[in-house]
Amino acid sequence: MKPDEFIQSFFDTIQKDVLGTKRGADGKSARYEDSVVVATWGANQLWDVEYSNGESEPVRRLYDPAIARSAEGAANYFVDVLRRAAGLEPLPREIVTRYRSAGRPKTPVA
C-alpha cells in the first residue's frame, strides 16, 4: 500500500467509526471533541501518528505502510482511544484467529 493511500484509509476509518469527527484540510489530522489525531511522514519512511487531548500524555504509534496489514487495523487503536476519551465504549470487533482447527481430539480418561 502506498503511504498516501495508507494514511487516507486510516483517517477514513476513524471518521467512519467515530461519528462527528472532523478531518483536517491536509487530510493528515482528525479532531473529535477535545481530542486530536495527527499523522506526519517521517524521514525514517514511517507514519508517526499521535493522539492528544491536552489532559494526558500523548499517545504515539509508528506505522510502515510497506508492511502494514491494513490501515483499518492501525486506525482501530485510535478509534478506541477517541471513543474512551469521549466517555463512549470501544466498538465491538470480530476476533480473528489464525488457526481454525478443532485441535487434537481428547482421549477419555479411564
- Tell me the pLDDT tens digit for each residue of 62-86: 999 888 788 998 899 999 999 988 8
pLDDT, residue 107, reads 72
Closest residue by Cα to residue 51 from 63, 34, 66, 70: 34
Helix runs in 1-104, H state only: 3-17, 71-85
Residue 78 grid cell: 485510535
pLDDT band per the 50, 70, 90 thresholds, residue 108: confident
Domain annotation covers residue 104: no
The predicted structure's pLDDT at residue 26: 92
* C-alpha cell recorded at residue 73: 487495523
Q: How many CA atoms lie within 13 A of 9 on its CB side?
A: 15
pTM for the model stands at 0.79
Please state the φ and ψ torsions of residue 35, each to the nearest 5 degrees: -105, 150
- Answer yes or no: is pLDDT of 59 > 80: yes
The boundaries of the domain holding residue 31 are 3-85
Mean pLDDT of 81-102: 77
| Domain total of the chain | 1
Block residue for cell numbers 514511517: 46
- What distance in Å separates the CA atoms of residue 105 and residue 44, rounded to the nearest whole number? 49
Q: Please report whether residue 91 resides in a domain.
A: no
